[in-house]
Amino acid sequence: MQEQPMVIDFDFGLRQLNGNRSLLYRLLRKFSAEYQSLDTRLQTMLAQQEITEAENLVHTLKGVSGNLGCTAVYQSSRLVNEELKLGKPEQSSLKELIHRLAETIRVIEELPDDSELNASAKAAPSDEKQQTYQALSQALQHHEYINDEKLNNWLTTLDLNSSHQQELVDAVSSLEYDKALAILEDTNA
């Protein structure tokens, strides 16, 4: 018998987000809200023979769940995604995916809210911002590739105003790292 995967690998999720627990919990709650009606949406697509749309939905679920450490959903969605590529998933695979998603959503609903997290983390927000600033600055100085997700996570932690955020995103997207570094240094002055 196959061992049951971990519902959510919090350590993995935290590593993906540079240890930002508040961001991880916020993204998990967004994941829960986005996919709580997956069963209905997927069944409707399959009933209407919208296999490509169903495959896209499950493929997106697979990617998001994998990035957030939702291991059980990731493994099940990977199987359903492969079966959809072949035309139609097995009912047992769909049932397993929906069960694992419901289990994951239950775990997410039990997470502490932001006020509980903030009370325990009040001592270190400036440290986290400083570490994030240094990480982004170093990546820009070394002209490292910065994917959108990582950049957005860093910008969320830095809590810059929207115009500075947009300037940074535009500079990084166009690989103008020296310009992005100058913008970042201006915001930290």
Radius of gyration, alpha carbons of the chain:
20
Q: What are the b/e assignments for 51-81, b being 16+ CB within 10 Å?
A: bebbbebbbebbebbbbbbbbbbbbbbbbbb
Does the structure show a pLDDT above 60 at 175? yes
Looking at mean pLDDT, say which of 13-22, 152-161, 175-184 comes out highest.
Answer: 13-22
Instruction: Show me where the domains of the chain are located.
Output: 10-115, 123-188
* DSSP conformation letters of 77-100: HHHHHHHHHTT---HHHHHHHHHH
Alpha-carbon distance of 20 to 25, in angstroms, equals 9
Residues 138/142/143/146 CA torsion (nearest 10 deg) = -40
pTM over 0.75: no
CATH no., domain 10-115: 1.20.120
Does the structure show a pLDDT above 90 at 41? yes
Give per-residue pLDDT as tens, 57-81: 999 999 999 999 999 999 999 999 9
Give per-residue pLDDT as tens, 79-130: 999 999 998 889 999 999 999 999 999 999 998 876 555 555 444 456 777 7
